[in-house]
Amino acid sequence: MSIEVGSKLQGKVTGITNFGAFVEIEEGKTGLVHISEVADNYVKDINDHLSVGDMVTVKVLNVEKDGKIGLSIKKAKDRPPRQRNRKPTESFESKMNKFLKDSDERLASLKKHTESKRGGRGAKRG
């Protein structure tokens, strides 16, 4: 049976390196789960997530011509489809108007504060 891209398989972690974990899947074939494919969050040390001998579910990402198999643990997890927040979108013009108003207010505040610092005591006069 050939290993197909997109299929989910059970496997056993056979080795861990600083860049990922080797997982033995069916027929004695081994694939690599890159460290970026171990968990949804940032993985600094793969040993915090996996150990040799762990049974894991993996998804086949790719199968190279030379036989290398790319696997993912995080993509093998079943997740409900993400619901996008459907809020009314602002037009470009209204966003630009808000930006300009905010920008003008900041500029006025900056000018006010720099004007008050000029010509105070201790300033050299010409």
* Model confidence pLDDT, tens digit, residues 35-56: 999 998 999 999 999 999 999 9
Is pLDDT above 60 for 16?
yes
Mean pLDDT of 98-118: 85
- Please give the pLDDT value at position 91: 86
| Residues 51, 38: Cα–Cα separation, whole Å | 12
Length reported for the chain: 126
| Domains identified in the chain and CATH numbers | 8-76 (2.40.50.140)
CA angle, 50 then 53 then 59, to 5°: 65
For the entire predicted model, the pTM comes to 0.61
SS3 at position 40: coil
